[in-house]
Structure 1
Amino acid sequence: MPPEWSSSSPELLLAVDRTSGRPLRAQLEQGLRDAIRTGRLSVGERLPSSRELARTLGLSRGLVQECYAQLQAEGYLVTRPGSATRVAAGAAASPGTAQPRTVAPRLVADFRWGVPDLKSFPVQDWLWSTREAARAMRTADFDYGDPRGSADLREVLAGYLRRVRAAAADPEHIIVCNGYAQGLGVLTTEVGDRAHGVVILK
């Protein structure tokens, strides 16, 4: 799947040498051909507009339009009315120049430990909750904040642990981790140092 850019015109690294004596249009055409042949530009990927590419390279817009028209005639590019110029479907990379993307084999059953059933994740509920929370967030809440985790969340967790687990929980002594792996890493590092490298998990 070709990348889609949120900006009005994607960036593209090309260079022209005005001291080489070679026509600028020929250099631009060759640069685009090479980018497509080597897989640097993939099939379906959007190119910058002729105006934007001309501005970036310091060329006339007419020269860029002529270059696009030539590559379209050669089958490298395709342009549709009301749409951007894209790499044509038949303009594949040369054999051996680009490494094909390997697809992992599909597992009949996944018995890895610590991995939940990802298909059952409530995506719509998560998006709704995130949207509602973002509406009420202060600007300062978008900062990194306390590395131990949200003070409000740690306060709620401490209250829960006191009520349900009868634990002497203090929000100042609670660390909220990003997940199981980070929590295990923090635990083994801290406890391991104190236990001289011996940790027993139950």
Structure 2
Amino acid sequence: MTIGRFLRFFALGLALIVPLNSAQAQWDSLVGRVPRGANTIALFDVQKILASPVAKNEEWSTKFDRMYASGLTSIPPGTNRVLLASQVDLEFMEPIWEVGLVESNSPVPLASVARTHGGTLDEVSGLSAVALPDDSVIVSFDAKTVGAMSPGNRQEVGRWIRAGENNPLSAYLAEGVRFATSGTPIIIALDLQDVVTPVEIRRKLEE
């Protein structure tokens, strides 16, 4: 599994406009675990997406279960919310690191994840973990919350765990999260602050 696999199922929903629901989604525990320096974030309220008219008509829930059973996605059935974040080198469009966080309504057995994806059970900073062959590590933060980090540098994973739930986002990404907490089921944000110089912008506009 790579972090990008977290998006395979949800890519179907990016073109979908789902009606805004006024119910407040509690994202704080996931958002607070995003490492410092993130410049991209994506949030998916899975249950709202699966409850949309298009998802019901096309039986996304059933397809989702099949994808998980066949190993095409690492997001288990019963997932409530998914958060993806990364720090991307925007000059070369290459990720420096990527994380994914999943909140489920039932416990996620890491032993099953290890068997399905050929991983090795481990323990990092006191938490159960699985090291996967694709250079990523999955961590069980609690019974119903798991996270994945790539590259799977064990020392960096340990630092991520010890950083806790109080890591600040940039102002722009935090604004995107506010839309999610207001009920928007899919949010994708990219922080471009200071990416290019005023001189570069002026030159491009004059071309």
Q: TM-score range by the shorter chain?
A: under 0.3
User: Normalising by the residue count of structure 1, what TM-score does the alignment of the two structures yield?
Assistant: 0.21
Quick one: higher RCO (CA 8 Å, sep 6+), 1 or 2?
2
Greater strand percent: which structure?
2
More helix by share: 1
Q: TM-score if structure 2 supplies the norm length?
A: 0.21
Larger Rg: 1
